[in-house]
Amino acid sequence: MAGGVTGGSDGTWSDRFEQGLHPFIERFNASIGFDLALLQEDLDGSIAHARMLAGCGVITTDEADQIVGGLETIRAEAASGVFQPGLADEDVHFAVERRLIALLGPIGKKLHTGRSRNDQVGTDLRLWLRRRLDELDPGLGRLQTALWRQADRHRSTLIPGYTHLQRAQPLCLAHHLLAYIEMLQRDRDRLGDVRKRVNICPLGAAALAGTSVPIDRRQTANELGFAAPYANSLDAVSDRDFCVEFTAAASLVMAHLSRLAEEVIVWASEEFGFVGLSDRCATGSSLMPQKKNPDVPELVRGKCGRVFGHLQSLLTMIKGLPLAYNKDFQEDKEALFDAVRTTRDCVEAMAILFEEGLTFRPERLEQAVEQDFSNATDVADYLVAKGVPFREAYQLVGSVVRHCLERSCLLRDLSLEEWKRLHPAFEGDLHDALAARAVVAARRSEGGTAFERVDEQLIAWSDRLDLGIE
């Protein structure tokens, strides 16, 4: 039964209670099965709290040293597998406190002075998420680098560009990949903003109203690396905005990864054949020996739902809660832990996929670009350059495309004589202008797919990603 730390007997919470918890309710109530993940953060927060108590004269320096030593002993015991809390500990905070009391006796009972599990868990959770944010950012940078290296290898490779999944205009493949680097940078920026709001310390807010114990909240906040303490004790213990905000930002990361994953899945199909998958990142069929399945991008695409679902779960959890702390907050951890783990793993999987899991097929891509009408806009642009109003040119080219479809030919197959019969502005340079490489090279507007613009962006991103490439 939960209880021993608070002084109750026979498994009761305290002398306020006459009976212990029903065995099922004890299991239902406990969070030790998942919040033990916060152990290192709980120890860090407790060490800072003990030092602050000594600094404020609430406990002696010797008592603080003994408490810190006991907490470090628990850290070592956890690393060696000796410290293994069970259901009777209820949560990670009680588990640590009970073990500390077992190690130090009455001195261990002084640690909880001036704090509550309400501000304690909020502190632990923020410390935990802050560390994971600091790990996730380099992972996103690694994926950006993998995309950049693919783009660098394919500065001159073409790929069909699509809108509505219909052939639209030819692109430089590097330009296509750079678009995802841009998306991932927005993700990194958003997560950096989330970190700023994670980095506020609730410790010392106690249960909800602060404490009469003469503590120094700024000392613990500084020691733990927080930017500042919460200004309002009620807000400190009841704020889970940062959990929602992280999961919302992670949902966008997952949405971007899923879009990229979907492209790889399509590109790897025999109908497209734009990429080949390596054996390191693909599996086969248990029945059909010829198949190589794009498992990595399919799993990434599928795992989006987990993170999206956690966002909805967290929003639903907080939407009707009165101030201040409520037991509902126990539901934040599994959702947050899984959202972090899923996002981190998917980022790493996609990085590996682009580092060593796929190879683009330039010849197939080139062939694909040459077999459509994606240069139709360039015919209109050609006429515009000759002084023809765009809408008139647009209508004329539309009729030419229809004519070609009826004849089962492409725009490039029409002779100059045929073009001139359509409009006298067409000259001998038309066919050169319709070549796929010329079409791509002509898109020189800022942010466009022209090779020179792509080279500029590759250089810029090399600097931003600190790749050290001239």
Three-class DSSP labels, 29-51: HCCHHHHHHHHHHHHHHHHHHHH
Element (H, E) at 153: helix 117-153
| pLDDT of amino acid 6 | 57
- Total Cβ atoms within 10 A of residue 105: 11
- pLDDT attached to residue 232: 98
- Cβ(204)–Cβ(210) below 8 Å: yes
Tokens encoding 123:
């502190």
Q: Is residue 285 annotated as a catalytic residue, yes or no?
A: yes
Residue 367 CB neighbours (<10 A): 12
Q: pLDDT, tens digit, for every residue of 214-243?
A: 999 999 999 999 999 999 999 999 999 999
Domain 118-362 homologous superfamily, CATH: Fumarase/aspartase (Central domain) (1.20.200.10)
Residue 160's H or E segment, with its range, is strand 158-163
Establish whether 164 is a catalytic residue. Answer: yes
Domain 369-464 has CATH 1.10.40.30: yes
Q: Does domain 31-113 have CATH number 1.10.275.10?
A: yes
Could you tell me which of 440, 398, 433 has the C-alpha nearest to residue 169? 440
Residues of the chain with CATH 1.20.200.10: 118-362
Nearest-angstrom CA–CA distance, 285 and 292? 7
Q: CATH 1.10.275.10 in the chain, residues?
A: 31-113
pLDDT given for residue 470 in this prediction: 59
Q: According to CATH, where is 1.10.40.30 located in the chain?
A: 369-464
The DSSP result for 73-142, as a single string, is: HHHHHHHHT-----GGG-SHHHHHHHHHHHHHGGGGGGTTTT--HHHHHHHHHHHHHHHHHHHHHHHHHH
Buried b or exposed e, range 169-180, using 16+ CB within 10 angstroms: bbbbbbbbbbbb
Looking at residue 296, what is its pLDDT? 95
Given 9, 14, 278, 285, the catalytic residue: 285
Residue 2 has a pLDDT of 42
Write out the two tokens for 253.
């990361």
Q: What is the pLDDT of residue 1?
A: 37
Residue 15: its pLDDT value, please?
66
If the chain, 470 residues long, is cut into consecutive pieces of 10 residues, what is the mean pLDDT of each piece? 50 66 90 96 98 98 98 98 93 97 98 97 98 98 98 97 93 98 98 98 97 98 98 98 98 98 96 94 72 91 97 97 95 97 98 97 94 88 92 92 91 91 91 92 96 97 88
Cα separation of 448 and 172, whole Å? 10
Give CA–CA dist 119/235, Å, rounded: 10
The active-site residue, picked from 80, 164, 212, 415, is: 164
Q: Burial of 22 by CB count in 10 Å (0-12 exposed, 13-18 middle, 19+ buried)?
A: exposed
Q: Quote the Cα angle for 309-328-240, to 5°.
A: 70
